[in-house]
Structure 1
Amino acid sequence: YWIINRWSLTTDLVIDTGLHYDRYLREVIDFLEKDQHFREKLHNTDMEDIKQGKLAKELDFVSHHVRTKLDELKRQEVNRLRTLIKAKQDLEGGNDIAVDHQALLKQFEYLNHMNPHTFEVDDLDRLIKSATKDLENYDKERHEEFKRYEMMKEHDRREHLKTLDDEDRKKEEEHYEEMKKKHADHPKVNHPGSQNQLKEVWEEADGLDPEDFDPKTFFNLHDTNGDGFFDEQELEALFTKELEKIYDPTNEEDDMVEMEEERLRMREHVMNEVDSNKDRLVSLDEFLVATKKKEFLEPDSWETLEQNQAYTDEEMREFEEHLAQQEQDLNQKAVDLQKQRDELQRQQEQLNAQKIELQQVKSSTLLL
């Protein structure tokens, strides 16, 4: 992944990865970059060697100051995880249960929990491999989140229809179909990463003559951090013009969550087509090679989200069954809680009655 492969020159340029250990990853990167030997090795090592752990072995040669700081960072991270584990136990009602931190820390594969005091070669190897694996799965998880979002939106729509009478239901359905048709009626969306798409950016965003389009100049214009690569954020920025053909942020009926999913699909497509060494960065050489391919000059049409439903009918059926089961479980819990409340109230009334009876007995005894 580009963060592991390039380890940006300053942490200010590193974009939030979305990982739960993002801060730890950033801080380790920052201090390793400060060691000249490691920095040189890093920028002369290819991605495959990094993934195989060859770079991690260079940790033995970094300065004592850097190693000391890395030890401190690891101790802080282990303490953070222990605090989170304890807080989770407390929330789950396990206050009286002894917490086996070592057992629970096993789930955090990005550090060696058996040695919580010093940052070793194994820690760097684990961090690189975990971040690489987790970031590769990140887009997949985002797609799954979007699928659930779309199914919930459809579920809510169906539930709303059930509350309407026949006439209003018919009007609502007609409005829904009209909005779908209106949304699908937009200018042609250029194939992401194609010559037509990039020329449109060149002309409309850069204000340049499309006849003067030059791939190398285009690359340099949109390599905003000047590192010689298109990272994922720089690529996604290129699709804004295409997305504006489909989505209008000022229109409340246009779903911005769907717009970001479309942006993600476009970026993934270009990465798959252009990123030949699969380091999730597009170098100038990779970009120029892609501009010479037939797909760049004569691309297939791009199918937008409205032409590719995010879920199948079977998935929707299973989703609604799951929601129904969840609702049933919640209702049962509510019934059980009410029973417990009624029982506690009955016991309290019984205790009150016993208390009154004891007071009466006490009073009678005193009178005697």
Structure 2
Amino acid sequence: MWILTVFCLFQDTGLHYDRYLREVIDFLEKDQHFREKLHNTDMEDIKQGKLAKELDFVGHHVRTKLDELKRQEVNRLRTLIKAKQDVEGGHEMNHKALLMQFEYMNHMNPHTFEVEDLDKLIKSATSDLENYDKDRHEEFKRYEMMKEHKRKEHLKNLDEEQRKDEEQHYEELRKKHANHPKINHPGSQDQLKEVWKESDGLDPNDFDPKTFFKLHDNNGDGYIDQQELEALFTKELEKMYSPNLEEDDMTEMEEERLRMREHVMNEVDTNKDRLVSLDEFLISTNKKEFQEPDSWETLEQAPAYTDEEMKLFEEQLAQEESNLKQKNVELQKQKEELERQQEQLDAQKAELQQPAAPIPARHRSR
């Protein structure tokens, strides 16, 4: 399965060139020759650029449309660059050099979509999406550290008795959150049987992996994609999180969902195309880990950050706050200086506007 087809399974890849990527894929898959090559080319050949060379054999109408899409994308980028130029005060900018920063496109010829364009688009999208989950984890880590930092800062402003009550309340909430039913190991037989029973309304004793796969291949394309896979974890997540409870954080729930999806994909998706095929799924159900899995380590058992990371984070926040204070001091000085200069100008203006003193009579012309 071609990796770029996978990208289209997401509502939003998170890439700033998401629309361009989708439109290129859509038109390429309409060409019969190219579509056949897509389904008969493995991941390594795609990454090495062998698939991109097949662009020379697609129909003329497809190439014409790809040329149009590229021109539209170049114009979009130029508009962004122009907006950036305006924001930065209209300084002269090297548009060609700035366009070169967008590595997903061949800028040597901005008017036609060439083999190099497809090669760059595949490689850039593959690399960017491989880092997408990593970036989400980093954002979550920062979110958790900021939440803890704000909690500590709040405690500093309380008296001893209030601080004690607040700490006790925090511990009670933490324990309430941790007091949930057992979490089945994602992708295990027990976990899937629970979905089979609770979501599909079927008898767990009649569990059949092949039927289960077909039930949850929602679009019927022969694969369980990442969104379809994440939907399988909803029952497990509902054991730990509720939007109506103070102790449950929905941002943490989404991080847990991501962790579960990544784990199952690492175990089942053997060809690393970000899809689970029926064969991959059936093979995974025959493994010992499927029937006798280890217990699942949830977020409360696996903190998102270390003590050292928290220390560095707080040092960075302190430095940022110090820099901001210094900047405010400098701005205040500038403001006071401007006010002083304005007062001088006002005084000079007032002096100039005063009527001239009358000339004494003896000095008047006779």
| Same fold per superposition (TM over 0.5) | yes
Say which is worse superposed, 144-153 or 75-84, in terms of deviation.
Answer: 75-84
State the one-letter code of the partner of 1:61.
F
2:67 corresponds to 1:71: yes
SS of equivalent residue, structure 1 residue 355: helix
State the one-letter code of the partner of 1:126.
K
Shift of 1:186: 0.7
State the one-letter code of the partner of 2:89.
G
- The separation in 1 between residues aligned to 2:281 and 2:209, in whole angstroms, is 8
2:356 corresponds to 1:363: yes
Q: Tell me the residue number matched to 1:54.
A: 50
- The separation in 2 between residues aligned to 1:6 and 1:156, in whole angstroms, is 39
2:2–2:38 contact (8 Å) kept in structure 1: no
Q: 1:205 to 1:234 in 2, by over 3 A?
A: same
What is the CA deviation profile of residues 155-180 of structure 1, one whole-angstrom value per residue up to 9, with x for unaligned ones?
Answer: 01001101111001000000111111
What is the CA deviation profile of residues 3-26 of structure 1, one whole-angstrom value per residue up to 9, with x for unaligned ones?
Answer: 515576xxxx55311111100001
Q: Tell me the residue number matched to 1:294.
A: 288
Q: Tell me the residue number matched to 1:322.
A: 316
- The separation in 2 between residues aligned to 1:147 and 1:86, in whole angstroms, is 35
SS of equivalent residue, structure 2 residue 135: helix
Shift of 1:114: 2.4
Which of these two proteins has the greater Rg computed from alpha carbons?
A: 2
Q: Which runs of 5+ in 2 are unaligned?
A: none
Shift of 1:203: 0.6
2:229–2:261 contact (8 Å) kept in structure 1: yes
> Which residue of the other structure, out of 104, 118, 138, is the alignment partner of 1:144?
138
Q: Which runs of 5+ in 1 are unaligned?
A: none
Shift of 1:231: 0.7
How does the TM-score come out when normalised to structure 1? Answer: 0.94
Q: 1:235 to 1:218 in 2, by over 3 A?
A: same
Say which is worse superposed, 320-329 or 30-39, in terms of deviation.
Answer: 30-39
Shift of 1:134: 0.4
> Which residue of the other structure, out of 84, 90, 96, is the alignment partner of 2:86?
90
Question: Aligned ranges for residues 1-368 of structure 1 at < 5 Å?
Answer: 4-6=4-6, 14-91=10-87, 93-95=88-90, 97-360=91-354, 363-364=356-357
- The separation in 1 between residues aligned to 2:16 and 2:359, in whole angstroms, is 69
How does the TM-score come out when normalised to structure 2? Answer: 0.95
Shift of 1:365: 8.4
SS of equivalent residue, structure 1 residue 285: helix
2:243–2:250 contact (8 Å) kept in structure 1: yes
CA RMSD of aligned residues (A): 1.7
- The separation in 2 between residues aligned to 1:130 and 1:166, in whole angstroms, is 55
What is the CA deviation profile of residues 272-296 of structure 1, one whole-angstrom value per residue up to 9, with x for unaligned ones?
Answer: 1111111111110000000000000
1:2–1:231 contact (8 Å) kept in structure 2: no
Shift of 1:53: 1.0
> % of aligned pairs identical?
79
